[in-house]
Amino acid sequence: MTYEAAASFEPATTSGSATVLERSAVIDLDAVRHNVRHFVAIASPANVMAVVKADAYGHGAVQVARAALDAGARWLGVAHISEALALRAAGIDAPLLAWLHTTESNFQAAVAAGVDIGISGWELDAVVAAAREQERPARIHLKVDTGLGRNGATIDQWDELVGSAMEYQDEGLLRVVGIFSHLAVADEPHRLETDEQLAAFREAIAVAEDAGVDTEVRHLANTPATLSRPDTHFDLVRVGLGLYGLSPFEGQNSAELGLRPAMTVRTLVSNCKRVPEGQGVSYGLNYRTPRPSTLGLIPLGYADGVPRVATGGPVQIGEITYPVVGRIAMDQMVIDLGGVGPAEAGLRGAEAIMFGDGTNGGPTADDWAAAAGTNNYEIVTRISPRVPRIYANEAPEADRP
């Protein structure tokens, strides 16, 4: 997809078209739809929950949620109730689960808005109080910790949690809609802990069923488990990273998994100048030009979400990809165009791509993850609000789910 193609659509989040032209994250919603359809086919007969927390990993929660539902996802998942309420406020009424709460979470609003609530333990009484107040049964999913060591009832607490939930269900205060857990190492398919977690999950389901729980959905799999472990699919798979077209596996890229990266971060070369051999570049002067050279200034920095540690990350201009040299600063970073002549200074104003879908060898979020020593989840999610999102291939309003 070219920027020109994307730009022909009405920008959804901009602070003026000049800003968009200067730098933007172009989100190709056709790529999201393609990826969702791919996961729907892999997971069937299980359904797909599109995980759109953290503003859809930086892609835009409302736009991605609509595209995902359009392409066959049946559920939406977020971490915070506030994220769920924002989706409801946008008119999205699909089944929607929020699973990470604090004592200040707005359970009343969640119950009122028909948001399903993940319950690890202490939340149960607070949610029941909200249901009483709202005079509406809460919809809950009981979460068991099968080994990740974060949220979820421990196996020891599980019996009691299930028993209390069933008492409240009998009183008509809630409905246990689901049972779920989260995997720790599914991105490393050789690791045996996934088998242990799966066995613990099956055991927890058996305990709940013995206690009379009759769920609509049992769910465990994330993106890597959906791709590599059909035995973890149960009734519903919770797919985040894969929706955005990114690979969860080291050594396997998006194309090899049949996925299309949805986000392209691009800007314009801000300045271009000829410098002598030995020119220091950026704070710390950690890089010096090894010969007379031309430096290109790229107006993206850590305030835009580029990791400060990612020196060496690739930037594509035209057909050529250059590594970032010297330290990445708050607003800018520098590439060394090499010993090119003054004519090349004409690159000022040329489009510079930080990462995109990787076709024709272009830079990817995976490349930036490698340069920063992190994962591709973090690269896309941290692209900051200073970079306007623009949407390619957004469905016309009348056709939206």
Ligand X SMILES: Cc1ncc(COP(=O)(O)O)c(C=O)c1O
8 Å CB contact between 382 and 323: no
Catalytic (active site) residue 53 = yes
Cα separation, 15 vs 291, whole angstroms: 41
Catalytic member of 168, 273, 283, 322:
283
Closest to ligand X by CB, 331 or 378: 378
Q: Which of 53, 244, 377, 391 is catalytic?
A: 53
Query: Annotated binding residues, as ranges?
Result: 150, 330
- Indicate the angle between helix axes 193-210 and 155-170, nearest 10 degrees: 30
What is the Cα–Cα distance from 288 to 280, expressed in whole angstroms?
4
Residue 57 is a catalytic residue: no
For ligand X, the closer CB: 39 or 168: 39
Provide the minimum distance between the beta carbon of 385 and ligand X in the complex, in angstroms, as a whole number: 21
In contact, 8 and 20? CB cutoff 8 Å: no
Nearer to ligand X, 240 or 314 (CB): 240
Spatial distance between the Cα atoms of 122 and 129, rounded to a whole number of angstroms: 12
Q: How far is the CB of 238 from ligand X (least distance, A)?
A: 4
Question: Position of tokens 């049949």?
Answer: 258
Instruction: Provide, rounded to whole angstroms, the least separation between the CB of residue 259 and ligand X.
Output: 12
Pairwise CA distance, residues 208 & 248, whole Å: 31
Question: How many helices, marked H, and strands, marked E, lie in the chain?
Answer: 13, 19
Query: How far does Cα 219 stand from its chain's mean position?
Result: 19
In the annotated binding site for substrate, the residues are: 150, 330
Q: Which residues contact ligand X (rule: CB under 6 A)?
A: 51, 99, 182, 222-223, 238-242, 248
Q: Which helix or strand (DSSP H or E) is residue 390 part of?
A: strand 389-392
Select the residue whose beta carbon is closest to ligand X and give its number: 240
**Nearer of residues 226 and 282 to ligand X, judged by Cβ:** 226
Residues recognised as catalytic? 53, 283
